[in-house]
Amino acid sequence: MKKLYPYVGWLLLAIGLLVLAPAVLSDFRLGLLAKYCCYAIAAVGIGLAWGRGGMLVLGQGLYFGIGAYAMAMHLKLADAGPGGVPDFMALYGDAAVPGWWEPLRSGALAVVVILVLPALVAGLLGLAVFKRRIKGAYFAILSQALAAAFAILLVGQVKTTGGANGLNNFQGFFGYALFDPANKRMLYFLAAGILLVSILAMAWLYRTRFGELLVAVRDGEERVRFLGTDPANVKLAAYVIAAVLASIGGALFVPIAGIVSPDDVGVVASIGLLAGVALGGRASLLGPAVGALLVGYAETTLSEAFPGSWSYFQGALFVLVILLLPGGLAQLLGLVGRANAHRGDSASDHSPRGVPRGKRGETEVSRSASEEAAAR
Partner 1 sequence: MDALLAQVFTGISAGAVLLLIALGLTLTFGQMGVINMAHGEFIMAGAYTAYVVSTIVASTELSLLIALPAGFVIGGLLGLALEASVLRWMYARPLDTLLVTYGVGLVLQQVARDIFGAPAKEVPAPGWLDGSIPILGYDFPLTRLFIIVLAGLCVAALLAVLRFTALGREIRATVGNRDLAETIGISTRRTDQATFFIGSGLAGVAGVALTLLGSTGPNLGTSYIVQAFLVVVVGGIGHLKGTIVAALGIGLLQAFLAHALTGSVAQVIVFLAIVAFLQLRPQGILSVRTRSLA
Minimum Å distance from CB 222 to partner 1?
5
In the complex with partner 1, the residue whose CB is nearer, 26 or 366, is 366
Contacts of 267 (CB under 8 A, 6+ apart): 58, 59, 61, 144, 147, 148, 151
In the complex with partner 1, the residue whose CB is nearer, 27 or 362, is 362
Minimum Å distance from CB 314 to partner 1?
6
| Residue 305: burial class (beta carbons within 10 Å; 0-12, 13-18, 19+) | exposed
What is the contact surface with partner 1 in residues (CB under 8 A)? 56, 58, 125, 128-129, 132-134, 136-138, 140-142, 144-146, 148-150, 152-153, 155-157, 220-223, 267-268, 271, 274, 278, 308, 311-312, 314-319, 322-323, 326, 351-352, 354-371, 373
b/e code 213-246 from CB counts within 10 Å (16+ = b): bbbbbbbbbeebeeeeeebbbbbbbbbbbbbbbb
Q: What is the bridge-based pairing of β-strands 167-168 and 172-173?
A: unpaired
In the complex with partner 1, the residue whose CB is nearer, 2 or 223, is 223
298 near 313, Cβ under 8 Å?
yes
Minimum Å distance from CB 195 to partner 1?
23
In the complex with partner 1, the residue whose CB is nearer, 142 or 190, is 142
In the complex with partner 1, the residue whose CB is nearer, 138 or 179, is 138
Minimum Å distance from CB 244 to partner 1?
21
State the DSSP H helix or E strand holding residue 167, giving kind and residue range, or none if neither.
strand 167-168
Neighbours of 250 (CB within 10 A): 31
Contacts of 102 (CB under 8 A, 6+ apart): none
Minimum Å distance from CB 134 to partner 1?
5
In the complex with partner 1, the residue whose CB is nearer, 31 or 266, is 266
Full 3-state SS string of 52-107: HCCCCCCCCHHHHHHHHHHHHHHHHHHHHCCCCCCHHHHHHCCCCCCHHHHHHHCH
The Cα 295–Cα 35 span in angstroms is: 12
In the complex with partner 1, the residue whose CB is nearer, 196 or 232, is 232
The Cα 329–Cα 323 span in angstroms is: 13
Minimum Å distance from CB 225 to partner 1?
10
Minimum Å distance from CB 200 to partner 1?
28
